[in-house]
Amino acid sequence: MQERITTAISEIGFLEWGNPQGRPILALHGWLDNASSFAPLANYFLNNGLDFHLIAIDFPGHAHSSWRPTRTVFSFIDYIADIKAVADHLQWDKFTILGHSMGGGLGSLFAGTFPDMIEKLILIEALGPVTREANEAPENLALAIQRFLDHSNKDPESAIFRSIDQLVKLRLRAGKMKDESARLLIERGTEVLEDGNLRLRRDPRLNLPSFLRLTEDQVIEFLKRIHVPSLLIWGDQGYQWEKKILEHRANAVANLKQITLAGNHHLHMDEPEAVGEQIVRFLRKD
């Protein structure tokens, strides 16, 4: 079942599982993914007796959520306001965040921004966002502005595809994952045109570089404000982080447990039983 939440900022598409009176969990997907990213985990929770209420959103510009207004840019940090707007709409004063990749980076920042709203924090393949050195900011901003202006001066074009199978093959080239996992993401992330062809639902501006990114010191200040029980799950074949940065970030989180499981960057989709077992155990531990 798919729905939309109307907030003061945007229309947010989402998927929902579980008991509306159960433990509230807000799931945040990765860049260019969508809410279907959490379907395998949600089904595992249902099959293993977890009392939960999971809302998995599509971030603006993805799948069934609205795009940002014309001639504006997507700013990574703006998604924090979208998360807050969704929580306010749901009237969730305290909830668990479940975030993968970009969603994990955003979940980390949200937990540091609104620490009193978070009950537990579950991160998959992410601890904070991508950063830039302060001395790189002017050059990166110049590049990002030029890319944005070049994009804005062009007539928007949308690539047309013949079938879901074609898009699944393209998605698998972008990163290792199981065929059925890629298909879940593609099916939600496309729309069928009148002629039967397919078009991606995502906003092409998502591929533009960010105007500004946080520095590493700024990210550490957010992470230092996280004091709730936190679980960080890595895939042994997932994205490779610079160890010095990761160690520094992990040490900043007061109550963090890290686990490495067999799998790639999308292990929560490919290996939902192994990942789900760890999450259920973590949620049931008071």
Catalytic residue annotation: 101
> Is-contact 279 23, C-beta < 8 A?
no
CA distance 121 to 110: 10
Query: What residues have CB less than 8 Å from 250, skipping those under 6 apart?
Result: 127, 232, 256, 258
Residue for token pair 């949200």: 110
> With the C-alpha atoms ordered 34, 114, 286, 16, is the resulting torsion angle positive or negative?
negative
CB neighbour burial string for 40-65, b if at least 16 within 10 angstroms, e if fewer: bbbebbeeeebebbbbbbbbbbbbbb
What separation in angstroms does the CA of 44 have from each of 41, 93, 132, 153, 280? 5, 26, 37, 46, 9
| Helix-strand-coil split of the chain, %, nearest 5 | 40, 20, 40
φ, ψ of residue 258 to 5 degrees: the values are -110, 140
